[in-house]
């Protein structure tokens, strides 16, 4: 395995950075992608890593299909046999579940934590709603979502306040020549939306850098082309297909964190709360906060005990996956 692939094996989730529009010169001068690797190595490095991970996720799906329970991998392998679904298709579909559903959701969760540290009033209002609806004897469940509109608004404001894909994700293209505000746009021109600017337009979102869930509470504060009031998952027919999964995952994560903890800024060496910078974010397609200090204080001893009990149940449920996987990146590279 060469050094580049080894690095990918340790942190393949960062591969999303390769899709940052206009970052690499070969996008502007496509002929550079045809140069020998010893002259310009990046295209070959990307192709090598892509091949390795296609193999990895395909064989990971085959391993998952060996389970006694019905799962996504079994469905994919059935389609592979019956409808000539390619191994690359299966690899892409399984990789999307992990890369699109885990890494991006983690980034949004970190932005939520930062927002709770800097804007404690929103945290207080959400916790008051949770206490009123859920109480202190149990954690929030999926069935509580319709009864927690302010928490749902916190989710929407997190997605709006610091959207993960600040350049709108997948580019779009017009199917015919078009004109917009005096600009001629030829057919098939790649167009990438500036989601950072869209979500910080003061006409749609007054004081855009203030985390204020009230923008989405009960009804949209201002008319918006999207019924959700934001475009965090893109727009049109090429918007993110994982939107429902991401929203559900964020809701239960955020609701349970708010139920469990008071989230506060971390402390410096003198015991004082540190000042947090809401603009200290990574420069990548999958934007997330730079490392920052935060504290998670259980809201009561009762809450703390329920947290420990739930952790014990989760650990027990995960015992089935304690055995070592048969698949390693080294084995895949050798295939």
pLDDT tens, the chain, 335 aa long: 445 444 444 445 556 666 666 678 887 888 988 899 899 888 888 888 788 888 888 888 888 888 778 888 888 888 777 777 888 888 888 887 776 667 788 999 999 999 999 999 999 999 999 999 999 999 999 999 999 999 999 999 999 999 988 776 677 889 999 999 999 999 999 888 889 999 999 999 999 999 999 999 988 989 898 889 999 988 877 777 778 888 889 999 999 999 999 999 999 999 999 999 999 998 777 789 999 999 999 999 999 999 999 999 999 988 876 765 565 555 555 55
Q: CA–CA distance from 293 to each of 96, 113, 239, 263, 307 (Å)?
A: 30, 10, 34, 11, 22
Phi, psi for residue 191 in degrees, rounded to 5: -125, 125
Q: How far apart are the first and last CA of the chain?
A: 11
Alpha helix locations (H) across 102-161?
104-118, 120-133, 149-161
- How far is Cα 155 from Cα 48, in angstroms, rounded to an integer? 38
Q: Do 21 and 195 meet the contact criterion of CB atoms below 8 Å apart?
A: no
pTM given for the model:
0.83
Range 3-334 has CATH code 1.10.630.10: yes
DSSP-derived 3-state class of residue 212: coil
Q: What residue segments make up the domains of the chain, in order of their start?
A: 3-334
List, in order, residues 6 or more apart from 310 with CB less than 8 Å away. Answer: 139
Residues with Cβ < 8 Å from 82, sequence gap 6 or more?
none
């Amino acid at each position: 395995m060469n050094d580049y692939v080894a690095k990918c094996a340790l942190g393949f989730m960062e591969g999303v950075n390769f899709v940052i529009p206009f970052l690499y010169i070969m996008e502007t001068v496509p002929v550079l992608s045809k140069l020998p690797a010893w002259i310009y190595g990046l295209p070959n490095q990307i192709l090598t890593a892509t091949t390795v991970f296609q193999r990895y996720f395909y064989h990971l799906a085959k391993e998952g299909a060996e389970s006694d329970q019905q799962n996504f991998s079994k469905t994919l392998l059935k389609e592979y046999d019956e409808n000539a679904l390619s191994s690359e298709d299966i690899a892409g579909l399984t990789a999307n579940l992990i890369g699109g559903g885990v890494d991006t959701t983690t980034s949004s969760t970190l932005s939520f934590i930062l927002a709770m540290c800097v804007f404690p009033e929103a945290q207080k209002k959400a916790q008051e709603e949770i206490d009123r609806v859920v109480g202190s004897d149990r954690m929030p469940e999926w069935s509580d979502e319709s009864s927690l509109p302010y928490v749902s608004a916190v989710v929407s404001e997190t997605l709006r306040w610091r959207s993960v894909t600040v350049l709108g994700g997948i580019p779009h293209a017009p199917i015919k020549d078009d004109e917009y505000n005096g600009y001629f746009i030829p057919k098939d021109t790649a167009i990438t939306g500036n989601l950072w600017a869209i979500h910080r337009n003061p006409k749609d979102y007054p004081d855009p850098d203030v985390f204020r869930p009230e923008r989405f509470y009960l009804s949209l504060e201002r008319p918006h082309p999207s019924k959700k009031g934001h475009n965090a998952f893109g727009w049109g027919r090429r918007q993110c297909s994982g939107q429902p999964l991401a929203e559900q995952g964020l809701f239960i994560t955020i609701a349970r964190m708010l139920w469990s903890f008071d989230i506060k800024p971390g402390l410096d060496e003198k015991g004082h709360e540190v000042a947090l910078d809401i603009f200290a974010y990574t420069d990548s397609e999958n934007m997330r906060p730079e490392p920052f200090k935060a504290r998670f204080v259980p809201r009561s001893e009762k809450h703390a005990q329920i947290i420990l009990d739930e952790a014990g149940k989760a650990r027990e449920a995960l015992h089935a996956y304690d055995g070592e996987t048969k698949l390693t990146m080294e084995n895949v590279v050798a295939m």
